[in-house]
């Protein structure tokens, strides 16, 4: 078994790689707070953040595009009200607004020119009402950029000016190892990647290198865009404006429900809900500095923090999950996820 986990040594707080930043093993993602998943009232978002922080959350992940700055502004408001510092990770979008990249074709200067990275950092700092953001992440990446240095020099300048603490990259949905070259070159301190019960490839293709270079891992989409909530069936439908309706349909939906049903049996034996089971899976390998599920209500925040307190899954459950992955899941990976998805 490749998990490097021992539940007896579990702490709800972990180091984010070599950054010196301490984060909670379960953070909060704020995509929905930008009203990107339908209507979301600001007061509900504010109450959700307060509840998560009250219960020990020590990482908030956001992005400039979540509600065109709305999510960042809400975070800034909450932290100012509380008068405390909590690590915040934000993401700068590609300049042309297109997250898709083609290796060997897409020029990083079209997406993240140096001047743009510096200018957009100032935007995030204003939105967050902060002098320094803990983790500043590129919101997409391309394998052919691994030898580029202009973007890195701009990031170093921001670090030298005290405007960011750590340099991060959010890798593409279906290319978990695409930034391995820049990890090996020592240019990045944090990687955000899709990692969950149904997408375990990072554990094999990214985590070993991250451990070697002491790079922090932020695991996004721990609930597989809601599939791992355990409430779906083969007749699941989505609102017309919900992007998941174009992905989870037909055979993809049927296969996803089948996989989740198999996992439900293990969760039942562990004695926890599917939501808790999915979140606890993500923190069962300490290579994961934090997983960042989205939350929209105080009740959802409470459920996530309960999962954090419960800690890693039992070794026997992890063994059975790995068997399912090897025998079934890895051959039928769903590679299409909404950009920036957290849940």
DSSP string, 239-266: -TT-GGGGTS-HHHHHHHHHHHHHHHHH
Which is more confidently placed, 209 or 336? 209
Count of alpha carbons within 13 angstroms of residue 220, beta-carbon side = 27
Instruction: Please choose, from the candidates 108, 15, 115, 107, the residue with its C-alpha nearest in 3D space to the C-alpha of residue 58.
Output: 15
- Interior CA angle at 335 toward 331 and 340, to 5°? 145
Contact 216, 288 (CB under 8 A): no
| CATH, range 7-226+275-313 | 3.20.20.100
Which is more confidently placed, 38 or 125? 125
Instruction: Please choose, from the candidates 180, 63, 66, 183, the residue with its C-alpha nearest in 3D space to the C-alpha of residue 133.
Output: 63
Q: What pLDDT, in 10s, does the model give residues 225-257?
A: 899 988 998 999 988 877 788 889 999 999 999
Q: How far is it, in rounded angstroms, from Cα 248 to Cα 238?
A: 9
Average of pLDDT values for 116-135? Answer: 98
pLDDT for res 245: 86
pLDDT for res 337: 46
Q: What's the whole-number average pLDDT of the chain?
A: 92
Helix (H/G/I), strand (E/B), else coil: 174: coil
> 36 - beta bridge partners?
38
Q: How far is it, in rounded angstroms, from Cα 47 to Cα 51?
A: 6
pLDDT for res 290: 98
Q: What pLDDT, in 10s, does the model give residues 288-307?
A: 999 999 999 999 999 999 99
- The catalytic site residues sit at 66
Q: Is residue 203's pLDDT more than 70? A: yes
CB-count burial class (<10 Å; 0-12, 13-18, 19+) for 250:
exposed
pLDDT for res 178: 96
Helix (H/G/I), strand (E/B), else coil: 136: strand
* Terminal alpha carbon distance of the chain: 26
Domain locations in the chain as residue ranges: 7-226+275-313
The pTM (predicted TM-score) of the whole model is 0.93
């Amino acid at each position: 078994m490749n998990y490097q986990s021992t539940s007896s040594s579990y702490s709800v707080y972990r180091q984010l790689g070599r950054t010196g930043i301490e984060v909670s093993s379960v953070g909060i993602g704020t995509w929905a707070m930008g009203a990107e998943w339908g209507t979301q009232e600001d007061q509900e978002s504010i109450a959700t953040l307060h509840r998560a922080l009250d219960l020990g959350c020590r990482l908030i992940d956001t992005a400039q595009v979540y509600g065109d700055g709305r999510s960042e502004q809400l975070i800034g408001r909450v932290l100012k009200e509380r008068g405390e510092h909590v690590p915040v990770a934000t993401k700068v979008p590609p300049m042309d607004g297109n997250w898709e990249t083609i290796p060997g074709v897409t020029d990083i200067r079209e997406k993240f020119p140096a001047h743009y990275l510096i200018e957009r950092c100032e935007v995030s700092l204003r939105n967050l009402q902060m002098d320094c953001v803990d983790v500043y992440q590129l919101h997409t990446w391309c394998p052919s950029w691994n030898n580029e240095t202009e973007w890195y020099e701009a990031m170093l300048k921001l670090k030298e000016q005290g405007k960011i603490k750590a340099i991060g990259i959010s890798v593409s949905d279906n290319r978990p190892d695409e930034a391995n070259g820049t990890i090996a070159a020592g240019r990045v301190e944090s990687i955000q990647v899709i990692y969950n019960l149904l997408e375990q490839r990072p554990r094999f293709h990214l985590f070993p290198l991250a451990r070697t270079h002491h790079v922090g891992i932020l695991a996004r989409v721990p609930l597989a865009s809601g599939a791992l909530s355990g409430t779906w069936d083969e007749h699941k439908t989505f609102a017309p404006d919900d992007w998941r309706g174009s992905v989870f349909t037909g055979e993809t939906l049927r296969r996803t429900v089948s996989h989740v049903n198999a996992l439900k049996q293990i969760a039942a034996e562990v004695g926890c809900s599917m939501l808790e089971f999915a979140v606890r899976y993500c923190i069962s390998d300490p290579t994961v500095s934090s997983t960042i599920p989205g939350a929209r209500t105080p009740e959802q925040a409470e459920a996530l923090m309960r999962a954090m307190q419960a800690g890693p899954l039992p070794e026997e459950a992890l063994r059975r999950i790995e068997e399912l992955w090897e025998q079934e899941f890895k051959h039928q990976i769903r590679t299409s996820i909404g950009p920036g998805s957290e849940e």
